[in-house]
Amino acid sequence: MDTTAPFDVNYAREMIRTTTHPDSIGDHLKKASVFMLMRTPETDPTILAILKADNKGYPWANQVAFPGGHQDPVDASPLSTAYRELREETGILPDQVDYVGSLGHFQTIKNTEIEAFFGIWHGEEEEVVFDPSEIARIVMIPLGEVVKAHHDKAYSGRVPGWDELQYPVEDMAVWGATARIFHYFTELLLV
């Protein structure tokens, strides 16, 4: 993918819908779902992420992540978990999202398996409503910066270890399972 060329939404849809993505490794792990949302893909593609609040004792404090969370018994499916968490964490409603598909399952170092869903978000950053006791702020990450870091760090064609895989964003870094999802998505685009 050329970082100066417009993002091809139809190509991304086709890649996501026709690729066999990482499968679940079983029911022995806790289940969670996240939404990777892209905004304004035709002109300046950005990915919506959240910076978790700096709460003492919270294992994900100060981490950049996608909106999401653990599956509740009331959730009919992993996708319904992703939509519920998206609404709870950002106020973004399902009718503001053009759902594309699942990117598959990604394991965390904390024995959780995350199913990542991808969609196009038809909204503006100013419309996002979040609880500051849980989320410090919304982070709009330019796709071009993710792709550039992917190239600069020579991640293409290989899966870096947990200790190496990081994508710089402003004064932070995306790492862990969120970086794995970035890596996977970027590799799909670069095929």
Give the E-state strand segments of the chain in sequence order: 30-39, 46-52, 64-65, 68-70, 97-107, 112-121, 135-142, 167-169, 172-174
Percent of the chain with pLDDT over 70: 94
The per-residue pLDDT for range 111-139, each reduced to its tens digit, is 899 999 999 998 888 889 998 888 999 99
Evaluate whether the domain defined by 9-142 bears CATH number 3.90.79.10.
yes
pTM of the entire predicted model: 0.92
Using the predicted structure, report yes or no on whether residue 3 has a pLDDT greater than 70: no
Give the residue, 44 or 142, on which the prediction is more confident: 142
The per-residue pLDDT for range 88-102, each reduced to its tens digit, is 999 999 999 999 999
Using the predicted structure, report yes or no on whether residue 58 has a pLDDT greater than 70: no
Domain boundaries of the chain, sorted by first residue: 9-142
